[in-house]
Amino acid sequence: MGTVVMYGSVTVDGFIADVKDQPGPLFDWMSNGDVPLDDSGGLTVSRASYDYIRPYWDQIGVTIVGRRAFDMTDGWGGTPPAGVDHVVVVTHRPAPDGWDPDAPFHFVDGVEASVARAQELAGDRLVEVAAGDVGGQVLAAGLVDEVRMDVVPVVFGSGKRFFGSADAQHLLADPDMIVQGSRVLHLRYRVRRHSA
């Protein structure tokens, strides 16, 4: 099964969006470089960020998001973002009326079932879990293998937390990757497992 990675851009004080669900300058680093990150032409990053992000994106088979993110993006128009093959939406509700049943989106109730479905779809590729409430729930369930964050030098003071409403301690190993980009610091941590 593929590695489960919790991922997102985050402020230095731990937020992925402000209180109105707006990312503000969190993604400015994705348009302030001179290296195209994808074929869209809209994403340009520093060479250091490209060398870190592009190989990661290429390994992702499935992204898990919450229903709120799905609704806010209008389901990315039925096309998974960043070239991902499938999106698993954690939700208690069915797909929206009129949703194309052939679109590679899967609506699953509960985080454990969502991760199981995502791993089935991903095979040996990475399963990415969006940071926020769903990511925090997957971490709390003990299903996250590593945490990746793109730390942006901005402080929000309040908003939507990277780890959602996680209310217990979770230990991470020392960062095994630290990459300084332009206006972003990329960090990767393995999740420490409790021994029985």
Domains by residue range for the chain, with CATH: 4-190 (3.40.430.10)
Which pLDDT score is estimated for 196? Answer: 44
pLDDT over 50 (residue 103): yes
pLDDT exceeds 90 at position 78? yes
Q: Find the DSSP H helices in the chain.
A: 47-59, 67-72, 111-122, 133-140
Tens-digit pLDDT profile for residues 128-187: 999 999 999 999 999 999 999 999 999 999 999 999 988 888 899 999 999 999 999 999
pTM of the model: 0.94
Give the residue from 93, 92, 85, 145 showing the smallest Cα distance to 115. 145
Helix (H) or strand (E) holding 177: strand 177-180
pLDDT band per the 50, 70, 90 thresholds, residue 105: very high
Note the pLDDT tens digit of each residue in 61-70.
Answer: 999 999 999 9
Strand partners, 148: 7, 188
CA nearest to 170, candidates 1, 52, 2, 6: 6
Q: Please tell me which residue, 35 or 41, carries the higher pLDDT value.
A: 35
